[in-house]
Chains A and B, each alone.
Chain A
Amino acid sequence: MELRFAGVTFVRAGREILNVPELSFPEGRVTALLGPNGAGKTTILRLAAGLERPTRGTVRIGGTNAGRATRAVSAFAFQSAVFLSGTVEANLGLALRLRGVAAGERSARIASALDACGVGHLAGRSAHRLSGGEAQRVNLARTLAMQAPLTLMDEPLAGIDDPTHRDFVYQLPGLLRRAGATTVFVTHDRDEASRIADDMVVLIDGRVRAAGSVAAVLHHPPDRETAEFLGYTLLPEPVGATAIIAALLRQGGGGEPFALEVESVNEAIVGGEIVGRIRGQRVSMPVSGDRPLPAAGSVVQVFAPPEAVVRFDC
């Protein structure tokens, strides 16, 4: 079920929160919605859910305007995992009952969704006594149990502890693809987005800066601000190879010795002064002694000056 925004603006208290001339989320694809705080990501989800109405333009789900009529085909995982009093099972049961799922089918769906999210053992626990991470996983399970053609998730993995987060990042793509729903999820985590999603939309100041496949958006940021948001480090002025390497060493901090694929850096930037934007957190891994970096960086892409981007794929 395709989700399409056309000429959408959303104004609140006289301030334009969102301005999206055209944006579509193709049927069956998983799209990550990235952007800094206040970029309008949650507003996009709320518009898609029909919880807000656009000031101008249309939001259509499978050809129908988003609203009461389309809620039956949507599932929404709110950022704060909220539950009614009662057990986890009762909460999921209520969700399915309100959606008109037959009584006989509910138990199987609940068990399957809870197991898939690794919280099957919490079925009988009071939903108000879950830890933050458990609540997020149950929240996700409730959303998946609904088997809605359009699944909207607002930071579904926020607050989940690291090991479980890693498991989820590994498992979620499979779960979502098996569900076959058009999925839009908000995240601040670029790695999470790139591992889970097929497509990526970058939203800054209420405007779509980049949209397309994950690889296309990550490897071809359209402008400096987007590249910076995606983790490329902006060097202050055009510099040569030596300065870039020096900057990398500085980012590593502490004067620790580094093993960098210096050859490829030189190769890439020889022949001109360029602005290098480097994914700092990837390349600044200190190593001790002569041991090389576990994942040494190599330049994979350089654009023409002055918008050159040097990206290390570690």
Chain B
Amino acid sequence: MAELWDGLREAIRLISHGDGYVWDITFRTILVSSVATVLAMLAGVPAGYLLARRRFPGRTLLLTAVNTGMGMPPVVVGLVVWLLLVRSGPLGGFELIYTKRAMVIAQFVIATPMVVGFTAAAIQALPADLPDLLTMLGAGRIRTLWLLSREANLGLLAAVMAGFGGVISEVGASMTVGGNLDGNTRVLTTAIVTETSRGQNERAIALGLILLALAFAVNLLLTFVQQRRLR
């Protein structure tokens, strides 16, 4: 117990004194996870819309795959992305392995099924005639997608929360494809693993607190927006 309190004290000191190592990792984490989430939204929202609206052979299978993907272990995603990006792999020529881009790709793969799944559910929850109404009013495809997204904004905010929450807290994929290189691809989760294995519990706790605070702050912001729209 004493160790935990010591850890907490040290963590607060590290955060309040602006420890360079800690803040460097924090900013990198925000960067990688934000880019991955934005990309997942750009791809996942239209895909979720199509899954919700269109009827085609294999749709149920695809929805099942998406739902399965929402719970896919990040380490498995990391392994698959690693196999693709490693020098001897099919995409090895791009030399992305052990870079922040590789981590973004892996996190994108983790977040996209969540965004697709939440978007499809949000669009399906809208009145069935709404898309047809917009079509009849003369809205084009992009405008229809925009207007429906605006209507389904609560569901889409849930998609952002799920996507960002999923990638910022994962460790397996980032470790596998990023390599946890100090000053380059180390992020909060992989740093926590490293510091714990080194016996640097204070640092690990400090990083853990920052990770929690970060996830809380992002979700607080999104929940605030979500609830304000409900009023």
Could you say which residues of chain A place their CB within 8 Å of the CB of B132? Answer: 51, 76, 78
CA gap between A85 and B152 in the complex, in Å: 10
The answer to the question of B50 belonging to the interface, with a C-beta cut-off of 8 Å to chain A, is: no
Could you say which residues of chain B place their CB within 8 Å of the CB of A99? Answer: 137-138
CA gap between A49 and B127 in the complex, in Å: 19
Given the known A-B contacts A51-B132, A76-B133, A84-B147, are A98 and B127 also in contact in the complex, defined by CB atoms under 8 Å?
Answer: no
- Tell me if A's interface is mostly helix, strand, loop or mixed: loop
Could you say which residues of chain B place their CB within 8 Å of the CB of A95? Answer: 137
Query: What is the interface residue range for chain B against chain A?
Result: 10 to 19
Partner of B137, one of A80, A85, A98: A98
Is there contact, CB below 8 Å, between B136 and A82? Answer: no
The answer to the question of B135 belonging to the interface, with a C-beta cut-off of 8 Å to chain A, is: yes
The answer to the question of B139 belonging to the interface, with a C-beta cut-off of 8 Å to chain A, is: yes
Q: What total of chain A residues lie within 8 Å of the partner, measured CB to CB? A: 18
The answer to the question of A71 belonging to the interface, with a C-beta cut-off of 8 Å to chain B, is: yes
The answer to the question of A74 belonging to the interface, with a C-beta cut-off of 8 Å to chain B, is: yes
The answer to the question of A75 belonging to the interface, with a C-beta cut-off of 8 Å to chain B, is: yes
Interface centre among B132, B136, B147 (most CB of A within 10 A): B136
Q: Encode B66-97 as 1/0 by CB contact (under 8 A) with A.
A: 00000000000000000000000000000000
CA gap between A94 and B151 in the complex, in Å: 14
Is there contact, CB below 8 Å, between B138 and A84? Answer: no
- 12 A-B pairs within 8 Å (CB atoms) are namely A51-B135, A71-B135, A74-B136, A78-B129, A78-B132, A80-B127, A84-B150, A85-B150, A85-B151, A95-B137, A98-B139, A99-B138
Other A-B pairs, 14, CB within 8 Å; known A80-B127, A100-B138: A51-B135, A51-B136, A71-B135, A75-B136, A76-B136, A78-B133, A82-B133, A84-B130, A84-B151, A85-B150, A95-B137, A98-B138, A98-B139, A98-B143
